Amino acid sequence: MLIENMPVITEEEVEQALRFATEQVVRNLPAFTHQFQKAYSEDNFYQPIENNDWTTGFWTGEIWLAYEYSRDERLKAAGEIQIESFLNRIENKIGVDHHDMGFLYSPSCIAGYKLTGNEMGKAAAVKAADQLITRYHPVGEFIQAWGAMDAPENYRLIIDCLLNLPLLYWAFEETGDTKYRDIADKHIHTAINNVIREDYSTWHTFFFDMKTGEPDHGSTCQGYRDGSAWARGQAWGIYGCALAYKYTKREEYIEIFRGVTQYFIDHLPKDLVPFWDLEFTDGDDQPRDSSSASIAVCGLLEMIKYMNQEDAASYKKLAMQIIKSVYQNYAVKDPKVSNGLVLHSTYSNHSPYNTCNHYGVDECNSWGDYFYMEALTRLQKDWVLYW
């Protein structure tokens, strides 16, 4: 079927999907209030972990989205307990030696602060912003993703980091301190100028020369090979460009958003849910990454706020077509099948040409579930961003 003829999700389906997701989150509270979901499920079931991975904020974000939908006080109480854990984590520097402070603190602590005025959430998120800016390199003007700061083999940014920057804009707005905004502006500019290739496909990671700060080379970690487009990296690019525009209002980011989005669309299989790398399509014996579909939908639904009516209508239709497929073909509908929300995601798929380990392949993952709920919430109401 041609993409323009694919069905869009209906209001009733959005409602059904959000209701089920909220019920599923509530069912999970006994095991996942004092602990967190692991990044990915095993045989479609998540196990509990301590608050020590880069992914734990997504589960707390699901709790807050479920609270927004239902106003169920049990969810609010659980979200508050989790915020205490995030404050403890940043105060004691537990697993925060990397750039994912936004993924951790936006959907958990900023969400709780915005929704309920939770002051502990605000304090924790400001500390997380302070932690994030310690990873900024003036030489090269970017925030380093991983590893020790003085090693040339770590002197790189990754496309995913675009989602960590709203934390800095929020910290600027809350504290009035321009250093947060200035670092975010610089990183965005460096990232967008380097990770996006001429054809609007994207590098997962990009290295800089440690002495001069000059751009050096792109490389993949989680994609299939260096020159391919890792599906989730492309999706982070779509949402990242929308957020970059929201916070900077730099006109050129709109065109880049269009290009990155078009590349994604042009490489989708028939059911509009990408394989884990955009190199693959229908007929390839490769796993999907349903999380990329939901992340892209959130980016589309953010960007339409800043577009003319005609463009906004067409991107909104596309978003509603993609999320319809996620709902229809990938979402969990029976708690006996999974304690997650969306099946068939891929966290990290080893290939002969990439540098990642192999885990969480064809499973639920925590951000796939979170962004599915965020996409539905965006369709249900005028949502105030956690990002």
Helices (H), 196-308: 231-248, 252-266, 290-303
- 160 catalytic? Reply is yes
Q: Which residues contact 277 (CB under 8 A, 6 or more apart)?
A: 223, 224, 228, 229, 230, 231, 286, 349
- In the β-sheet with 215-219, what is the strand arrangement from edge to edge? 156-158, 205-208, 215-219
- Closest to ligand GLY by CB, 238 vs 307, is 238
Q: Name the catalytic one among 43, 130, 150, 160.
A: 160
- Dihedral of CA 220/223/226/227: which sign? negative
Q: Please, what is the minimum distance in Å from the beta carbon of residue 29 to ligand GLY? A: 26
Nearer to ligand GLY, 160 or 185 (CB): 160
Scored b (16 or more CB within 10 A) or e, 72-103 reads: beebbebbbebbebbbebbeeeeebebbbbbb
The verdict on whether 285 is a catalytic residue reads: no
Single out the catalytic residue among 43, 100, 182, 334.
Answer: 100
Applying CB under 6 A, the site for ligand GLY has a residue count of 4
d(CA 217, CA 205) in angstroms, rounded, equals 9
The answer to whether 374 contacts ligand GLY (rule: CB under 6 A) is: no
From 160, 185, 271, 279, residue interacting with ligand GLY (rule: CB under 6 A) = 160
Tell whether residue 232 is a contact of ligand GLY (CB under 6 A). yes
Closest chain position to ligand GLY (CB) = 160
Smallest distance from the beta carbon of 131 to ligand GLY, in angstroms?
A: 17
* Shortest spacing between CB 233 and ligand GLY, in angstroms: 8
Distance (Å, whole) CA 1 – CA 11: 23
Min dist CB 356 to ligand GLY, Å, is 9
Does position 187 bind ligand GLY by CB under 6 A? Answer: no
Residues 328-357 that bind ligand GLY (CB under 6 A): 347
Q: Does 369 bind ligand GLY (CB under 6 A)?
A: no
The answer to whether 129 and 113 have CB atoms below 8 angstroms apart is: no
Whichever of 232 and 344 has its CB closer to ligand GLY, that residue is 232
Q: What's at 342, amino acid-wise?
A: V
Report CA 14 to chain centroid distance, whole Å: 20
Smallest distance from the beta carbon of 296 to ligand GLY, in angstroms? 13
Residue numbers 300-329 binding ligand GLY by CB under 6 A:
none
Catalytic residues: 100, 160
Task: List contacts with ligand GLY (CB under 6 A).
Answer: 160, 222, 232, 347
